Every structure is written in C-alpha cells, then in structure tokens.
Chain A
Amino acid sequence: MSATLLAVQTLNGLQLGVLLFLIAAGLTLVFGVMDFINLAHGVQYMLGAYLAVAGYQLTGSFWLALLFALIVSLLAGLALEFLIFRHLYDRDHLDQVLATFGVIIFLNEAVKVIWGAAPLSLPIPAAFDGSFQLMDNLRYPIYRIALIGSGLGVALLLYVLVTRTRIGMLVRAGATNPDMVAALGVNIRRLFMIVFGFGTMLAGFAGIMAAPILSVEPGMGDNLLILAFVVIVIGGIGSIRGAFIAALIIGLVDTLGRSMTTDIARLLLPPAAANDVGPAIASMLIYILMAAVLFFRPSGLFPVTRS
C-alpha cells in the first residue's frame, strides 16, 4: 500500500474514531452514572442528522441548521428521558434493552414517515468546501479535517468539564457512588437529566457533523451504535478517557483493517477465497479485538470501579 493511501486511510480512521467518540462519550456517561443501557443512543445520532437536513431546508444555512438541530435534539432527548427513561433507572438491564429497542423501532419508522425512506444529504458548508493539500499527491477534504478537529475539540471540552468543574466532579462522583451523592443532598434526578441531555447533544452533534459526508437514512445509527458499545466495553464503562482512546483505536483498526485484510488475505489464499475471507475478517476485526481485550481486562482498559 502506498504511503498516500496509508495516510488517507489513517485520516479516515481518525474521522470514524472521532465520530464514534462523540457517540460513545454520551453512552458511557449515561451508563457510568445512571447504570442505564441506552440502545436508543444510535437513533439520537440519526435524529441529529435528520434535524440538520430539516434545518437546512428551513434556513438555507449550515450554521443555522447546526444550531437548530442541536437544540431540537436536546429537547427530543430530554423528552425521551422524561417520558420513558427515568422510569427505567431502577429496572434491570434487560428491561432497559427492551424499552430502548422499542424506541429504536419507533424512531426508525418515524423518520421514514416524516422524511421518506430515500437517503438524504446535506451540502458541505462553503467555509469547509474543497480539499487541502496535506502533502505531495495528498489532497484531503477540508470538511473531514474540520470534523476531526471538532471531535478533538469536544474531547478537550469534556475533559475540562469533567475534571475542572463542579458539575464534572458530581458526575464523576455519581458514577462511582450515586447513593452517596444523593445522600449528600445533591438532586440526583436533576444531575441525571443534565448528564442525559448532554449525552444526547453529543450524539446529535455527531449526526449533524456526519450528515454532509454520510447518507442520511433510516437505520443509519444502528451499526454505529453497536460499534459505540464495543468502544465503551473496550474503553471501560463510565470512562470518557477510555471511550476516547478506544474510539480512536477502533476507528483506525476498522478502517485500516478493511483496506489491508483483503491484501493480506491475497498473500495467503487464492484470489477468489481471499475476496471473501478478507472483508469477512475485516468486519469481524473489532469484535475479535473486543473479545481479546475482555479476556485480559474483563472490565475494559480504564474501568471505573463502582462502590
């Protein structure tokens, strides 16, 4: 593989990683603080993308659409929390899996009803249009670089929020011992709502940023959701740092893996078999990675121990 291709694929891997981080961060926060498995996080991502498209159709501006979609996804997430999720915090994980599965079924259909089943797209904002000459023979789209940058920016923001602010401290305390935090007089309901709302916004933001480069269609969140779960399991449930590192690893492994496994397979197998085996192994790579990590570190790379 040429250096150029390697560089492009690495950047693509970072891009996927950053997207996964945005989704996984909300997921791991909610799971870590409230012990709540939210399968519907994937459709929250999808909703963000659809809202961005709707917002653009309303205003004609990517930036206004971004604002619109962020606000509405936050509201939608809070509505879901209020109506459904807060009744499930005390239930076992199976109940949470089933109820959030119901939300997925509903929302995947709802977007079909409102926007139709055909894939939609969002134009790249003018400010980020075009590509950037990174090195000889390598031009990479500016928008994708902006996406990577914004993801890293959010990661930094989260780091500051969680480690340097009071609310961040409460979140970390809530993740290790929610009963204690409640006993100390903190309004745990409100804390949960804030955490959930924030997680929703992150997922929505990921959807908005992904909309110009991926096709916006029903079910677009489902596969990313599974990847996001693999990220938080590998990273350690409740750990944002773990989610960040695991997301980048998975983004890179998956992207680079897909481009390399077929080539590697061709070295070992006849071409017809290699063309089958290569992509199959590529799809399985991250699951194999997850199984391997769980084997050595059953609680992930950076586990947050709950009292």
Chain B
Amino acid sequence: MTRLLNNKAIPVILFLALALVPLYSSVFDDRFVLLFATRILILALAALSLDFILGLGAMVSFGHAAYLGLGAYAVGILAAHDIWDAWISFPVAILVSAIFAAITGAISLKTRGVYFIMITLAFGQMAYYTATSLSAYGGDDGLTMWGRSEFFGTDLFANDTSFYLLVLAILLGAYALLKRIAASRFGRVLKGARQNEARLHALGIDPFGYRLAAFVIAGVLAGIAGALMANQTEFVSPAYMSWHRSGELIVMVVLGGLGYLHGAILGAIAYLMLEEVLSGYTQHWRLIFGPLLILVVLYARGGILGLIKGRAK
C-alpha cells in the first residue's frame, strides 16, 4: 500500500490537481493563480530536466540555467527580427540547446566532483556574459518582446488558459518520457554509474557517452522551458542564466526529493509558493528562506518525498 502511495499515486494526483487549475481560476475569477501556475510549471520543467541528470546521474550541473536563457533568447532574438512562428523558434531553441549541451557536456564530463561543478558554472557564466554583451538585443537590460509565439494563426500562446494547458501538456510529456527512459537500459546505466563507476567499466560500459546523451536531453528540455518562459513574460534577459538561477534550480530539485522526477515538480511548486507566501509577509523573505534551506539540507535531505516516505513507514 505504501509503495503504491509513493510511486504511482503521487504523480497522478499531482497532474490531476494541476489540470484543474484553469477550472479553479475561472470559477473563482482569479487570473493571478493561472499566471502564477504557468510560471511554476515552466520552472518545474527546467527542474525536471535537472533531476534527470542530477538525481539519476549525480551530475551536479551548476550552469543549468544557461539553457533557460538559450531557449528564451532563441525566441526573443527571432521575435526581434519579426519571426514569430513557433514552428521555427521552438526547433531553433532545441537545436541551440542541444549544440551547447553537446559541446560543453563533452568537455565537462571529462571532469569529476567539484571540478565538474566549477566547469559547468564556468560555461553558464560564459553564456551569461555573452548575453550581456549582445547590445543589439538589449544587453544587460534585456529585450522586450511585443507579443508571443504564433501557432498556425491560433492564439494557443496568447490565450492564458490555452497557454497554461500547453505548458502542462509539455510538462506531462517530458515527465512521461523521462520516466520511460529512466526505466530503460539507458537509465539503468546512468543509475549504475552513479552508484559505482568502476564497476561499470569493469563490465565493459564506459558511462561517458550515456552521460553526455543524458546531458543533452536535459539541456534540450530546459531550453524548451526557456522558450516557454520568454513567451510567458514577453521579456528576455541575461538574468535568466545567472548562477543564482542555476542554484535555485538545484534547490528545487533537492527540495522535492532527488531522483524521482515528480519530486522536481513538487520541489518547484514548493519553492515558488514558499517564495510567494514569504514575500507576502515581508520584503526580506530571504532572511527566512536562507535558514530554511539550511535546515532542509541538514535535517530533511530527502526533500518532500523523503518526508512522505518517512511518514509512510
């Protein structure tokens, strides 16, 4: 019973609840909830992609926010040149993210431990500084898009409700895909490499190629999240790629519980709602948030899912 509760029920309940948000929003005439939930889902997608490499594969990337930026800028720059078609901008976002991930991953994955953290941070910073230098596209101040992506003449992106459902559908699709991959032979290699890399080599598996593939998959998904984010805020800025952002993504993943994939979604929800609630009390909500994070790391390391599992025992 408890195993069922942990593995199947939680994501089902989660996605059902998320699907009901537009209904809630229209019944209670609360547009803010819909917009806030959209933002949560977009960051949840980025967090989900990070959990795939960090939770499953123990690749602590401190530069994952770079993909949010790459995807966002793909959409923003094309929009600045009056190209609004989603069928163009999204594939571009995906391609750019994939190339960046392939190149930086090939270099970073040759390193281990703290060196890996540092080098992913460095690549994230490089992306950040490149964006700040693009004065034609706003540089440090960012770029305002006057509109959203178009999809065959429909207002799929422009209408708040349909956009929310689009994001939810993408999140659900990404979750299902990653869950599938995690259970496959490929996923088994990633999980095995996390536990004992020497063992895998001795069996004839060099984890490098697998890790690189996972890194690219994660980068692409985060790039899609970035493209969605540009659409939601209609604004693109280097701040999307700051190392603080990368740190926040890691916090979200750990907060939810590493390695379960739906944990990352829970973590994103928890993080953003906590931020919202706390900032309602005080402008200095970070004074509470910092110590809270420390307490979670010290005493609730398994995150939300860890707490649920603990209570179910």
Contact = CB atoms under 8 A, between A and B. Distances in A.
Q: Do A and B touch (CB < 8 Å)?
A: yes
B242 to A, nearest CB: 9
Contacts of B130: 280, 284
A93 B113 contact: yes
A181 to B, nearest CB: 22
A113 B284 contact: yes
A105 B286 contact: yes
A118 B234 CA distance: 30
B121 A99 contact: no
Contact of A102 (B54, B129, B133, B297): B297
B205 interface: no
Interface string B217-254: 00000000000000000000000000110010011001
Given A106-B290, A283-B133, A284-B126, A101 B247 contact: yes
Contacts of A95: 297, 301
Interface in B240-290: 243-244, 247, 250-251, 254, 284, 286-287, 289-290
A99 B123 contact: no
A294 B111 contact: yes
A109 B122 contact: no
Is chain B's interface secondary structure helix, strand, loop, or mixed overall? helix
Interface string B112-124: 0111011101110
B286 A109 contact: yes
A106 B287 contact: yes
B135 A275 contact: yes
A299 B114 CA distance: 10
B45 interface: no
A15 to B, nearest CB: 22
A237 B297 contact: no
Interface in A276-294: 276-277, 279-280, 283-284, 287-288, 290-291, 294
B59 to A, nearest CB: 11
Interface stretch (A5-13, A128-136, A226-234, A243-251): A226-234
A279 B111 CA distance: 28
B128 to A, nearest CB: 8
A287 B120 CA distance: 10
B286 A108 contact: yes
A246 to B, nearest CB: 13
A112 B284 contact: yes
B198 interface: no
Interface in B279-313: 284, 286-287, 289-294, 297-298, 301
Interface of A: 31, 37, 84, 87-88, 91, 93-95, 97-99, 101-110, 112-113, 222, 226, 229-230, 233, 237, 275-277, 279-280, 283-284, 287-288, 290-291, 294-295, 298-299
List 9 tightest A-B contacts by C-beta distance, closest first: A106-B290, A280-B133, A102-B293, A283-B129, A109-B286, A105-B290, A287-B122, A102-B294, A99-B297
Interface of B: 54, 60, 62, 107, 110-111, 113-115, 117-119, 121-123, 125-126, 129-130, 132-136, 243-244, 247, 250-251, 254, 284, 286-287, 289-294, 297-298, 301
